[in-house]
Amino acid sequence: MHKSIGLIVNPMAGRDIRRLVAHASLQSQPEKALTARRLITGIRAVPGVSVLMPNDRQGFFAWLADDLSQPESIKLVPPPANTWEDSTVLWVNMLVQAGADALIVVGGDGTQRNVAQAHPLIPVLPIAGGTNNVACYLGDQTAAGLAVARFLREGLDRQEAGQTAKILHVTLPDGQEEMALVDVALTRQAYTGALAVWDPSDVLALVMARADALRPGLSNVGGYNHPVGFADDFGWMFKLGRGGPAIPSVLAPGLVARLRVREQSRIAFDEPMHLKANRQSRSLSLDGERTVVLRSGQSAKVVLRRDGPLTLDPRRIFAALCR
């Protein structure tokens, strides 16, 4: 039976202000094309599995297809006639409706958060292609494409090949719902600005679904004393400020800062956390990017659940194939 993999490469991932305030590398379009080439090479090694890509209005994916060998084996999915702006959420929906059996998405934590916002019912493999890549696979990309193609071709059990992702659900004062895959931070800034958070003194509270000392970002600070893995059925919360011990944190590639942790606690699933704004704290950062501005006195509720996309793990796929 023929299978299809939807491939999304975020053309804007890895191009934010952290190229100026840190030593993060620029993820250029040719570099993204190389990543796509490696993934597709792995996919093409498995007969009966094809590639779908969104045909965006800026022409990035058409350029990408032309850059690849055998572009005729890649199907470009056109956007709906009534849409005018490109987005990761739109692309996910386009590929799912076009019949993709799994998704491979190249981008950082922000891109993968957008994928989760689309609520795809098919499995997803997030590939590192941004600045902070806590929620992403970091291994060889050719092997990753091969793994997803074999997962589909061999009909492996989804739960054997991956796991449902944890989601930090954020309820805003007006009832609007937001989400994060890695962390939610309460910051001092009363604006979103350049989105990325790189000044440790801006952060007053941090709720983490994952914390890894080897992955840069706000949650990195948790990895040094309370690591939280993808498979762990809990999270962690820090309250930051004067009076606590200074813990080093890699906020972005080439940027080390010290965050002072005053209080900390373990978070269970469905346990509500409340982040309240005052004169010193005015915005929420979701997966490292300031997204929501709060007025003084307003409070956002954060709840951790395991109800995100089914996230594939190439290592688990190959282990299952060996059994």
CATH of the domain at 75: 3.40.50
Q: Is 57 helix (H, G, I), strand (E, B) or coil?
A: coil
pLDDT band at 23 (very low <50, low <70, confident <90, very high): low
Domain membership of residue 137 as a residue range: 3-165+308-322
CATH of the domain at 223: 2.60.200
Per-residue pLDDT tens digits for 26-58: 667 778 888 999 999 999 999 999 999 999 888
Q: Enter the tokens of residue 58.
A: 């800026």
Q: What is the mean pLDDT of residues 57-79?
A: 81
Q: Are residues 99 and 181 both part of a single domain? A: no
- Whether 254 contacts 19, CB under 8 Å: no
Q: What is the mean pLDDT of residues 143-171?
A: 97
Q: In whole angstroms, what separates CA 41 from the centre of its chain?
A: 23
Q: Are residues 125 and 212 both part of a single domain? A: no
Q: What is the mean pLDDT of residues 301-307?
A: 98
**Helix (H), strand (E) at residue 65:** helix 60-67
Per-residue pLDDT tens digits for 110-148: 999 999 999 999 999 999 987 778 999 999 999 999 999
Predicted pLDDT of residue 255: 86
- Whether 126 contacts 108, CB under 8 Å: no
Lowest-pLDDT choice from 68-82, 90-104, 124-138, 245-259: 68-82
- The yes-or-no verdict on residue 281 having pLDDT over 80 is no
Predicted pLDDT of residue 15: 53
Total domains present in the chain: 2
Predicted pLDDT of residue 254: 86
Q: Are residues 244 and 318 both part of a single domain? A: no
- The yes-or-no verdict on residue 260 having pLDDT over 80 is yes
In 39-123 the beta strands, taken as DSSP E runs, fall at 49-54, 74-77, 102-107
pLDDT band at 76 (very low <50, low <70, confident <90, very high): very high
Give the residue among 255, 210, 272, 203 at the shortest CA–CA distance from 235.
Answer: 210
Q: Is 20 helix (H, G, I), strand (E, B) or coil?
A: helix
Q: Are residues 318 and 287 both part of a single domain? A: no
Predicted pLDDT of residue 87: 93
Whole-prediction pTM:
0.92
Per-residue pLDDT tens digits for 167-211: 999 999 999 999 999 999 999 877 665 667 767 778 899 999 999
Q: Enter the tokens of residue 164.
A: 């449902």
Give the residue among 1, 310, 46 at the shortest CA–CA distance from 160.
Answer: 310
Q: Enter the tokens of residue 94.
A: 């386009």
Q: Are residues 14 and 114 both part of a single domain? A: yes
When the pLDDT of each residue in the chain is averaged and rounded to a whole number, the result is 89
Indicate the burial class of 105 (C-beta count within 10 angstroms; 0-12, 13-18, 19 or more).
Answer: buried
Indicate the burial class of 157 (C-beta count within 10 angstroms; 0-12, 13-18, 19 or more).
Answer: exposed
Calpha distance 144→149 (Å, rounded): 9
Q: Enter the tokens of residue 262.
A: 């005053």
Predicted pLDDT of residue 270: 98
Predicted pLDDT of residue 198: 65
